[in-house]
Amino acid sequence: MSMQTNLSLSSQRTDNLAGIIDVPGDKSMSHRSLILGSLAIGTTKVTGLLEGADVLATADAMRALGVDITRHDDGTWVIVGQGLHGLVAPETALDLGNSGTGVRLLMGVVAGQAITATFTGDASLSVRPMARITDPLQQMGTHVASRDGGLLPVTITGQSEPMAISYESPVASAQIKSAILLAGLTARGDTEVIEPHASRDHTESMLRHFGATVEQTVRDDGTHHVQLHGGAQLIAADIAVPRDPSSAAFPMVAALLTKGSDITLPSIGMNPLRTGLITTLIEMGGDISILNPRDEGGEPVADLRVRHSDLHGINIPAERAASMIDEFPILSVAATQAYGTTIMNGVAELRVKETDRIKVMADGLIAAGAIVSYDDDTMTVTGGPIAGGMTVNSQHDHRIAMSFLTLGLISNAPVSVEGCETIHTSFPDFAKIMQNAGANIAETGS
């Protein structure tokens, strides 16, 4: 489905989802492919890149920073890297649209360059917290100017040799960690990030792929330490982007919940720091077969076969949250159809995503007839019938929109979702792809 504004979709009860569903390339790796390819010496070719609005915004930003990035007719992206010190100051502000990953990672990039850049975004991104990124960057010697509360627009003036720091992050966040590591590429000495537990590690893996030295250790107290050795050059290296497990979550849950369904999701990224939802759904009784495990582009991938299942509630440990942080909205939908109660711990980070995802999901699920409660760091859902028959505003959040469209597939009455245009940021053609598998999803009024 092409990108448009004010798109509303409606979904209704569906059975027998079937076939092969090709989900888009991994969003996290797509952002990083463009960024690290731009900072490397030589030409990098990327296949499987997610061509959603968020990633395209990152590509445009890298072009504005002086990088030659082109897309060939066969879908291959070619990046002519400028090296670690080759970026130029953009002539206008870098508009990252709705992309929290893009804006935060690029702040780290600019912090390690002797240039100044201003970052802007859409209405949703402009109320998301940036101080958690800019505070450690300031410790590295970066000059930062922003609105009160660290909000966009943010202007970053970087340094060609920022100070190497050891930063203890209060939360496990790949965005915080990645911004610091990207700034640390041009620092003298070693840059270290300490997390309470491990967040997704695509940045570390891809830095190694391009020739950097990165060490990851877990201490006796459970903290996760990542150390980047500064002063290295990045050398161009081709990348095959696996398919996004966060996008696969929606058809996966839809198939588990709808009677008679049997689908296959090929080439899904199986990085162990991204598979918390799969582990959780299997623990809940989900029939998910992991087939043909293999390595592609330095990352583990596998094909997933998913069939309708009777689920039961479980208590999900907080330490698993970082490996499924984007999947809690759709997990809460699955929990409405599980026998008993599902307790999701460690979800505070969801309250500073595109929206307060906990509140928005809880409010919508309750309006649909679900039994839900939550506090700052926990969400509890008790299974039962879903009445549906309501309209939800997605609050410009693509994962909220797709989660409620999935809910409509098992509701007694249709569910309408406003603001579905942001689905294009991560899963272009979501509605069309699900329709082809048998889902009843259509534009409102069509």
Q: Which residues are catalytic?
A: 326
Structural domain includes residue 176: yes
Contact 308, 261 (CB under 8 A): yes
Query: What does the pLDDT look like over 124-174, one tens digit per residue?
Result: 899 988 999 999 999 999 999 999 888 999 999 999 999 999 999 999 899
What average pLDDT does this structure show over 429-433?
96
pLDDT for res 6: 82
* Exposure of 319 in the CB half-sphere (CA atoms within 13 A): 6
Dist CA 373 CA 358 (whole Å) = 10
| More confident site: 191 or 4 | 191
Confidence of residue 297 (pLDDT cuts 50, 70, 90): low
Contact 182, 156 (CB under 8 A): no
Write the burial class of residue 116 (CB in 10 Å: 0-12 exposed, 13-18 middle, 19+ buried): middle
Structural domain includes residue 93: yes
Confidence of residue 330 (pLDDT cuts 50, 70, 90): very high
pLDDT for res 352: 67
Dist CA 112 CA 421 (whole Å) = 34
In CATH, what number is assigned to the domain containing residue 14?
A: 3.65.10.10
Tell me how crowded residue 143 is: count the other CB atoms within 10 A of its CB. Answer: 14
pLDDT for res 2: 39
Binding site for 3-phosphoshikimate, by residue number, is: 27-28, 32, 173, 175, 326, 353
Tell me how crowded residue 129 is: count the other CB atoms within 10 A of its CB. Answer: 13
Dist CA 126 CA 41 (whole Å) = 33
What average pLDDT does this structure show over 81-85?
97
Confidence of residue 354 (pLDDT cuts 50, 70, 90): low
Please provide residue 243's backbone torsions phi and psi, each rounded to the nearest 5 degrees.
-80, 150
Sheet holding 77-82, edge to edge: 68-71, 77-82, 41-47, 239-240
Q: Which of 240, 269, 298 finishes a domain?
A: 240
Structural domain includes residue 217: yes
What's the number of domains the chain is made of? 2
Q: Which residue has the tokens 């506090």?
A: 375
Contact 381, 370 (CB under 8 A): yes
The answer to whether residues 20 and 44 belong to one domain is no
pLDDT beyond 90 at 232: no
Structural domain includes residue 386: yes
Q: Which of 216, 240, 264 finishes a domain?
A: 240
Q: What integer best gives the mean pLDDT of the chain? A: 94
pLDDT for res 197: 87
The answer to whether residues 301 and 224 belong to one domain is no
The answer to whether residues 233 and 103 belong to one domain is yes
Residue 384: give the domain boundaries: 9-24+242-443
pLDDT beyond 70 at 61: yes
Structural domain includes residue 3: no
Contact 242, 297 (CB under 8 A): yes
The answer to whether residues 284 and 424 belong to one domain is yes
The answer to whether residues 151 and 202 belong to one domain is yes
Binding site, by residue number, is: 27-28, 32, 100, 128, 173, 175, 326, 353, 357, 399
Contact 110, 137 (CB under 8 A): no
Q: What are the distances in angstroms from CA 99 to CA 139, 161, 353, 355?
A: 24, 27, 10, 13
* Percent share of the chain, pLDDT over 90: 86
pLDDT for res 265: 98
Query: What does the pLDDT look like over 204-219, one tens digit per residue?
Result: 999 999 999 999 999 9
141 Rama sector, left if φ>0, alpha if ψ -120 to 50, beta otherwise: left
pLDDT for res 1: 33
pLDDT for res 4: 54
Angle (CA) 189 132 214, round 5°: 30
The answer to whether residues 430 and 360 belong to one domain is yes
* Exposure of 316 in the CB half-sphere (CA atoms within 13 A): 34
pLDDT beyond 90 at 396: no
Contact 183, 191 (CB under 8 A): yes
Query: What does the pLDDT look like over 249-279, one tens digit per residue?
Result: 999 999 999 999 999 999 999 999 999 999 9
What average pLDDT does this structure show over 332-337?
98
The answer to whether residues 287 and 406 belong to one domain is yes
What average pLDDT does this structure show over 56-83?
98
The answer to whether residues 161 and 286 belong to one domain is no
The answer to whether residues 284 and 226 belong to one domain is no
pLDDT for res 442: 96
Dist CA 238 CA 259 (whole Å) = 42
The answer to whether residues 380 and 314 belong to one domain is yes
Structural domain includes residue 4: no
Query: What does the pLDDT look like over 62-74, one tens digit per residue?
Result: 999 999 999 999 9
State how beta strands 166-168 and 190-195 pair.
parallel
The answer to whether residues 291 and 404 belong to one domain is yes
pLDDT for res 356: 86
Q: Which of 223, 240, 257 finishes a domain?
A: 240
What average pLDDT does this structure show over 227-252?
95
pLDDT for res 120: 98
pLDDT for res 3: 45
Structural domain includes residue 147: yes
Dist CA 23 CA 430 (whole Å) = 8
Tell me how crowded residue 112 is: count the other CB atoms within 10 A of its CB. Answer: 28
The answer to whether residues 105 and 186 belong to one domain is yes
Q: SS3 for the chain, per residue?
A: CCCCCCCCEEEECCCCCEEECCCCECHHHHHHHHHHHHHCEEEEEEECCCCCHHHHHHHHHHHHCCCEEEECCCCCEEEEEECCCCCCCCCCCEECCCCHHHHHHHHHHHHCCCCEEEEECCCCHHHCCCHHHHHHHHHCCCEEEEECCCEEEEEEECCCCCECCEEECCCCCHHHHHHHHHHHCCCECEEEEEECCCCCCHHHHHHHHCCCCEEEEECCCCCEEEEEECCCCCECCCEECCECHHHHHHHHHHHHHCCCCEEEEEEEECCCCCCHHHHHHHHCCCEEEEEEEEEECCEEEEEEEEECCCEECCEECHHHHHHHHHHHHHHHHHHCCEECEEEEECCHHHHHCCCCHHHHHHHHHHHCCCEEEECCCEEEEECCCCCEEEEEECCCCHHHHHHHHHHHCCCCEEEEEECHHHHHHCCCCHHHHHHHCCCEEEECCC
Structural domain includes residue 1: no
Contact 365, 403 (CB under 8 A): no
Q: What are the distances in angstroms from CA 202 to CA 32, 199, 245, 299, 380?
A: 8, 9, 13, 9, 30
What average pLDDT does this structure show over 337-363?
88
Binding site for phosphoenolpyruvate, by residue number, is: 27, 100, 128, 175, 357, 399
